[in-house]
Structure 1
């Protein structure tokens, strides 16, 4: 069945905590039944299920994230499956199973959000306060905004599904929206989420601050420099709750979670593990090392004048085999990092360059460099500073899904990666989806 018409499975009974604990702690394992949101208990359970969908293997658990870095130049594929090599060689086919997995997982997440948005505001359970209704609805708007943001930057304009799916035929015939309209939906959802959410710090659940962080990224992608700077400043200015922890590895090493570096991360448990770890760790550490740091990246990150103390991102086996070490825990309870404060600094740095505030841009760039144990940048001109920021982002977010999208949004793919066919700058719509729904137009040349 077409996952775009996904019907969320029946929920399992869960031990629910108080409203305060629900808002303050990381999500517990759960499965959502979006069609059975009838009271406070089921509304909270559905929201936990929303985060479960966001953290699933097809989305931030593995597959979507891997598209962002396999398509760049920091990672090499060591396995035999051609479907993964297609991203590295930029010859992705419409029948690629990973493309379908990511697409399906993102739309399944959207559908869960749609159920919450449609149903929670109308519930009459006396135990469900208005503030909690707002909180849960705002979380759903935020997650839906993130999902459409990820869809549009990966596939271009997509079908906008804004109501719950209840049958297999509900969404037949929806035409793809334009890129502009899809981005407009992202902003609409973020705008709706912001006043509904509390201005609190929660690194596992969406709050007003989480919205600000995604808005900073959104406005950067839209070249809306003043707004990007403004929203990034909201997070950077909150030094009590967010700061660049030192050294670089302090946000992920020694089994830490939810450090002040993190604006929004996804949690995993011994019964619900993060699939990244197995792909990165070598057989000596009971992994498969299906993907590994590229030779070019190893040269950069191990250069003390470029990588600084970020060489902790990589490690080497006794046999001399290099591997990525961002995901290392056993069992694989490593968080998935969605929004970090370092990104906010580099967003503001880039925005300030574009606004001709070069000294301010260098201040932000050098804050990130200082945390990495590096000296101040020697860049002077606008062009030099922009390139310095690009290079800093490459190392800072090497194993997070940024590099490919950074080169796309700055129109640097051809110059850096040598990919001159702009048709390859978006992925194909999964062939299975196009086959099922004749109104779903395939991207050009796929």
Structure 2
């Protein structure tokens, strides 16, 4: 089972290998040989973040599942996997689906091992406070991983213990959607008191937990709590504020700006794979994903996109090809992956307030986003008008991040917006290789 290979991968990571390898279970090793002191614990934490930023997770494939499904990004290349996604003909053997599933579970299993091992370590260089911080980071990233699993596949197997042998953690039946979400909240709740309240845009802190809780409560339609947790970040104006103009958070090789709550950092030796798929050949990419004509029109409309038109560019004649440039910095592949930005917190609070009937303050939050993008203030005067305006704002605010598809599913808008009426297609298929490896794992209906 692919997720059981995580232990072997972890040891490879400690020795500097970052490439996903297919190995046989007999190559698995005991991780108790890997985390034994402060230095190996710190290496393991760095490895956990690398798991999150892997090409198959936030480095490429997982966000692609969202924006290729969401109708605003088209496939222009030769690969069959993204073609299935955009054609809405997903199969259980789709490589994007399989690799994303494996990468997310790999992140979970590494978090599990840290949670098991770090509390037992005895090393004067590993203080009690640092142990708590590491555990808090592991709980938070496990929560994020399960959140991404449940919003993509529905209820999943909850693997909460470290894996030491290939047979560990097999035979676990899928939990329900509610049970999986409950685990997300349980992990975020456990993480919060363990973490400091500092501001760190590349590592998990208590503020990261607050931001993820705002998103969690929005998905669970717990509007009061969504508003409360979003306000914790928005009200911290010394640490978080909207970058202005819009492109200020990514243009000119900007990183870790006040716009960012949590982003993954990349380097020449640990690259973000997005650029390869977005940039045209003239800029050393393959341009197999590109904005649709509809999205180009929205971003170039001064009354909708405003200065968010900086997200796209066009090649010179005779090609005149539109491409996304959120991931196009120098050196190539060093663009951050944006997990959550303060802009999302404004739109979370706007929606929560609209749902609660607080239309005036909801409109103020929406217009804060529009103002920084150079768009005139919305005049939406009813709850329904506000919710539709917020949906459109998300569409042009996060077109190349993991938002559009999940947002439409969450709000029940897939059918009217995309014309997909088969609700079984609102979740992804469980990878066939995983079902073959573990007979306790069942397929989603319709696949």
What is the TM-score with the length of structure 2 in the denominator?
Answer: 0.94
Summarize the alignment of residues 212-227 of structure 1 with structure 2, pairs less than 5 Å apart. 212-227=210-225
8 Å Cα contact 2:4-2:165 kept in structure 1: no
Alignment partner for residue 302 of structure 2, among 287, 301, 304?
A: 304
Summarize the alignment of residues 345-364 of structure 1 with structure 2, pairs less than 5 Å apart. 345-364=346-365
Residue of structure 2 equivalent to 1:89 = 87
- Using the TM superposition, give the Cα deviation of residue 304 of structure 1 relative to its aligned residue in structure 2, in angstroms: 0.6
Residue of structure 2 equivalent to 1:338 = 339
Tell me the SS of whatever aligns to 1:64. Answer: helix
- Counterpart CA distance in 1 for 2:396 and 2:119 is 43
- Counterpart CA distance in 2 for 1:345 and 1:362 is 10
Specify every segment of 5 or more residues in structure 1 that has no aligned partner in the other structure, as ranges: 16-28
Distance 1:153 1:376, change over 3 A: same
Residue of structure 1 equivalent to 2:2 = 2
Tell me the SS of whatever aligns to 1:263. Answer: strand
Tell me the SS of whatever aligns to 2:267. Answer: coil
- Counterpart CA distance in 2 for 1:372 and 1:34 is 49
8 Å Cα contact 2:7-2:110 kept in structure 1: no
The runs of 4+ residues in structure 1 deviating greater than 3 Å are 11-15
* Bigger Cα displacement from structure 2, 152-161 vs 164-173: 164-173
Specify every segment of 5 or more residues in structure 2 that has no aligned partner in the other structure, as ranges: 21-29
8 Å Cα contact 1:34-1:46 kept in structure 2: no
- Counterpart CA distance in 1 for 2:262 and 2:19 is 19
1:177 aligns with 2:178: no
Tell me the SS of whatever aligns to 1:292. Answer: strand
Tell me the SS of whatever aligns to 1:268. Answer: coil
- Using the TM superposition, give the Cα deviation of residue 57 of structure 1 relative to its aligned residue in structure 2, in angstroms: 0.5
Equivalent residue pairs, number: 433
Residue of structure 1 equivalent to 2:410 = 409
8 Å Cα contact 1:204-1:266 kept in structure 2: yes
Residue of structure 2 equivalent to 1:190 = 188
Residue of structure 2 equivalent to 1:22 = none
Summarize the alignment of residues 8-407 of structure 1 with structure 2, pairs less than 5 Å apart. 8-9=8-9, 10=11, 35=32, 36-319=34-317, 320-329=320-329, 330-407=331-408
Cα RMSD (Å): 1.7
8 Å Cα contact 1:156-1:178 kept in structure 2: yes
Tell me the SS of whatever aligns to 2:213. Answer: helix
Alignment deviations for residues 235-260 of structure 1 (CA, whole Å, 9 cap, x no partner): 00000010001000000000010000
- Counterpart CA distance in 2 for 1:34 and 1:365 is 48
- Counterpart CA distance in 1 for 2:6 and 2:117 is 17
Distance 1:152 1:13, change over 3 A: closer
Residue of structure 2 equivalent to 1:24 = none
Tell me the SS of whatever aligns to 1:60. Answer: coil
* Bigger Cα displacement from structure 2, 364-373 vs 330-339: 330-339
Tell me the SS of whatever aligns to 2:313. Answer: strand
8 Å Cα contact 2:3-2:109 kept in structure 1: no
- Counterpart CA distance in 2 for 1:73 and 1:107 is 27
